[in-house]
């Protein structure tokens, strides 16, 4: 992927172990609250790592990693497969990409940073002929109560198609689609509590698992999230490709 420059920011791929270590340090700050210097696992070595930096200072503001898969037969290699039974997706024949560990530096809420991250992801999708993008979208904390409206909205209108739907694998889950079927959500509250990454997936026509995994190690609740590239509305595809240059 060629680097992308927009305004005060630049997106590029990690160029070596030093860049990966910077991403791991940012992930620790974002996900672990400084309890560890680095967030690292054995999936890092298999992935491309995307960095969003301040063009002038080089300060790292955002990062994520991408695992490329030739098709669903390889989905057991994904990070998501640790938490979800993805047997249904093994039949998917197109190229896939898992987007993971997406985070922004604490205190940096500039929407342009997130837009540039999606521009970089769009460039990777096009460069590699990806047909499905997937990953885990995280809610901060392990208690579901603050997010009941958001989960009710997901359960009512954004569940994965039955042919691709993940099944329960993790020992601790919140089965929101079943439990919140009678819940009438406050739509404004739901959108306010929906993670930005997940909101973007939904705007692209994305879908989620029917349950959230309670991940106490990372201190999050997360849902499996997927989007088929062909299902992204044409206007949004044009916008993403314009951002990607």
How far apart CA 136 and CA 142 sit, in angstroms, is: 14
Q: Calculate ∠ Cα 126-132-138, nearest 5°.
A: 110
CATH classification at residue 129:
3.40.630.30
First and final C-alpha spacing in the chain: 12
CA-nearest of 65, 184, 228, 188 to 136 is 65
Structural domain including 31 reads 4-244
Question: Residue 245 has what pLDDT?
Answer: 83
- For residues 106 and 224, is the Cβ–Cβ distance under 8 A? no
Question: Residue 83 has what pLDDT?
Answer: 98
- Torsion angles phi and psi, residue 143, rounded to 5: -100, 130
3-state secondary structure of 133: strand
- Torsion angles phi and psi, residue 224, rounded to 5: -70, 135
How far apart CA 88 and CA 146 sit, in angstroms, is: 31
Question: Residue 98 has what pLDDT?
Answer: 98
Question: Residue 108 has what pLDDT?
Answer: 81
Question: Residue 243 has what pLDDT?
Answer: 83
How far apart CA 58 and CA 55 sit, in angstroms, is: 6
- Residue pLDDT tens, the chain, 245 long: 999 999 899 999 999 999 999 999 999 998 888 778 999 999 999 999 999 999 999 999 999 999 999 999 999 999 999 999 999 999 999 999 999 999 999 888 788 999 999 999 999 999 999 999 999 999 999 999 999 999 999 999 999 999 999 999 999 999 999 999 999 999 999 999 999 889 999 999 999 999 999 999 889 999 999 999 999 999 999 988 988 88
3-state secondary structure of 111: helix
Number of domains the chain contains: 1
| Strand duo 173-174 + 167-168: pairing | unpaired
pTM of the model: 0.94
How far apart CA 124 and CA 121 sit, in angstroms, is: 5
How far apart CA 64 and CA 99 sit, in angstroms, is: 7
């Amino acid at each position: 992927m060629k680097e992308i420059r927009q305004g005060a920011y630049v997106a590029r791929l990690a160029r070596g172990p030093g860049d990966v270590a910077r991403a791991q340090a940012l992930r620790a700050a974002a996900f672990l609250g400084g309890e560890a210097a680095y967030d690292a696992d054995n999936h890092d070595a298999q992935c491309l790592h995307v960095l969003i930096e301040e063009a002038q200072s080089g300060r790292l503001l955002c990062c994520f990693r991408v695992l490329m898969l030739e098709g669903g037969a390889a989905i057991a290699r994904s990070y998501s497969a640790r938490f979800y039974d993805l047997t249904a997706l093994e039949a998917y024949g197109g190229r896939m990409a898992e987007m993971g560990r997406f985070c922004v530096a604490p205190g940096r809420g500039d929407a342009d940073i997130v837009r540039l991250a999606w521009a970089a992801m769009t460039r990777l999708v096009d460069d590699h002929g990806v047909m499905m993008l997937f990953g885990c979208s995280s809610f901060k904390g392990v208690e579901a109560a603050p997010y009941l409206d958001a989960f009710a909205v997901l359960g009512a209108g954004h569940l994965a198609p039955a042919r691709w739907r993940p099944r329960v694998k993790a020992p601790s889950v919140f089965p929101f689609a079943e439990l919140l079927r009678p819940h009438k959500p406050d739509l404004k509250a739901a959108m306010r509590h929906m993670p930005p990454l997940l909101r973007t997936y939904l705007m692209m026509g994305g879908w989620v698992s029917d349950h959230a995994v309670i991940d106490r190690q990372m201190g999050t609740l997360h849902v499996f999230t997927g989007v088929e590239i062909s299902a992204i509305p044409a206007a949004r595809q044009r916008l993403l490709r314009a951002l990607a240059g």
